[in-house]
Structure 1
Amino acid sequence: MRFLPRLLAGAALLAPATAFAHPHIFAEARLEVTANEDGTISELRNVWRFDEMFSASVVMDFDKNGDNQLDPDELAEIGKTVLESLEEFSYYTTITEDGRTVKVAKPDAINVDYKDGQLLMFFTVKPGEVMPLKGKLTFGVYDPTMYAAMDFASDDDLVVVGNKFAACKREVVRPDPDEVLAQNQASLTEAFFNDPAGTDMSKMFATRLELTC
């Protein structure tokens, strides 16, 4: 119970300044953005697959019966723990509407599986308000503390689902860290490097899906 919440929530004890240069957790992510028939955003479907080293550490912490596996009740306990731990971080999910941040609602559950030595998490979040397909919308997944690196291996891992998106232009943006640093040198103060979560500027480095509708 002590290991996963601290790592995924990026607590201050984990030295986020060091994490900025060297993430300690690596996960492959997939994000599907769905639309309702009325032309509004329905939900965001997340799939995360964690690296084997982190996954093994989670097994050590949650394997209560010592069989080196994660049984259904142990998987459920992980999901419950992460559900509570990541609430203050909006479940690493970021949404903006014409530059304005849109909060996400707490998901009903986080489903967890363990296959081939890797931990997987599946869950959906919904915008905390009605979001019509209008203007410039962005969607992404990132850890504001930069302790975990959430990677989209392919642009096809950021997708839209629903015929209402036909009227929108879709683009996957992968910021170049050196360019971001150069363009925002005056804004990236010491406070950012000491606590990126506290400045909310780490999202500039995150891969995102942009829709222009």
Structure 2
Amino acid sequence: MKLQNVKQAEVTWVLAIASTLCALAAPSAALAHPHIFVDAKFEAISDASGNLMEVHDIWRFDEVFSSSVLLDYDKNQNNTLDPPELKAVAKTVKQSLAQYNFYTNITINGKAVTLDPPDVLHADYSDGALTLSFVQKPKQPTPLKGLIIFGVYDPSLYTALDFVDDKDLKVTGQGFNRCSRKVVRPNSKEILAENQAMLTSLFFSDPKGTDYSQLVATRLEVRC
């Protein structure tokens, strides 16, 4: 798969939680790799008429990152995150991720679907891990016709959202009954080899951004 259309993608880590996070300079090819790891789950829900109703995301962060959040937000120092502290984490993350569509990208026949931001972003801390969950709804009526692609990824490549099992990317609702689905897991080594000549420091520092993150991201393809 060749890189073709360069699109806007600021190379800044958007999950900026207080002093744990910092703005990143545009990475070189050698530095374009994840530092934060997330076990993710995604669900798209339709209505009986064949329209996309909403999408659900659940992200469980690795213990190293979670411990750094605990260090910054555990104000009463009881070694956990209580409801008011979790609320503060969720508020900061929601504000930060809004400008990046909460890493959630949907296209229907190549046209992007605009989602409203979640009304509420839920945060939980248990077993040493931070978990975030939220729901988004399409801004406009969205019939499920043709090729629908669901992708959840960080355009800066700083955070790796991993869907461990294909079942972690799913669709529910009567509108999807007539559709086929498959999970696509691109081979990043093959993509790097095919585009080696383009993956220079100038490529990654291009202020217009790059679509490389989209090419290597796991995605759910649905045909209706």
TM-score by length of 2: 0.85
Per the alignment, residue 107 of structure 2 pairs with: 96
Per the alignment, residue 118 of structure 1 pairs with: 129
Question: Is contact 1:97-1:135 (8 Å) kept?
Answer: yes
Distance change (3 Å), C-alpha of 1:125 and 1:112: same
AA of the residue aligned to 1:69: T
Distance change (3 Å), C-alpha of 1:69 and 1:90: same
For residues 59-117 of structure 1, the C-alpha deviation after alignment (integer angstroms, 9 at most, x for no partner) is 01111111111010000111111000001111011111112222321111110000100
Q: Which has the higher contact order (CA 8 A, sep 6+)?
A: 2
Matches within 5 A, 1:108-187: 108-185=119-196
Deviation at 1:147, TM superposition (A): 0.4
Per the alignment, residue 3 of structure 1 pairs with: 19
| Structure 1 CA distance for aligned equivalents of residues 53 and 209 of structure 2 | 29
AA of the residue aligned to 2:51: T
The question of 1:74 aligning with 2:85 is answered yes
5+ long unaligned stretches in structure 2: 1-16
| Structure 2 CA distance for aligned equivalents of residues 2 and 64 of structure 1 | 13
| Structure 1 CA distance for aligned equivalents of residues 41 and 146 of structure 2 | 24
Deviation at 1:136, TM superposition (A): 0.4
Structure with the higher fraction of residues in helix conformation? 1
Query: Please, which of 27, 34, 38 is the counterpart of residue 23 of structure 1?
Result: 34
Distance change (3 Å), C-alpha of 1:197 and 1:106: farther
| Structure 1 CA distance for aligned equivalents of residues 64 and 148 of structure 2 | 35
| Structure 1 CA distance for aligned equivalents of residues 203 and 138 of structure 2 | 27
Per the alignment, residue 36 of structure 1 pairs with: 47
Per the alignment, residue 12 of structure 1 pairs with: 24
Deviation at 1:48, TM superposition (A): 0.5
Distance change (3 Å), C-alpha of 1:42 and 1:191: farther
| Structure 1 CA distance for aligned equivalents of residues 165 and 113 of structure 2 | 25
Identity of aligned residues (%): 48
Matches within 5 A, 1:44-83: 44-83=55-94
Question: Is contact 1:19-1:147 (8 Å) kept?
Answer: no
AA of the residue aligned to 2:182: E
TM-score by length of 1: 0.89
| C-alpha RMSD of the superposition | 2.1
Distance change (3 Å), C-alpha of 1:195 and 1:34: farther
AA of the residue aligned to 2:24: A
Report how many aligned residue pairs link the two structures. Answer: 207
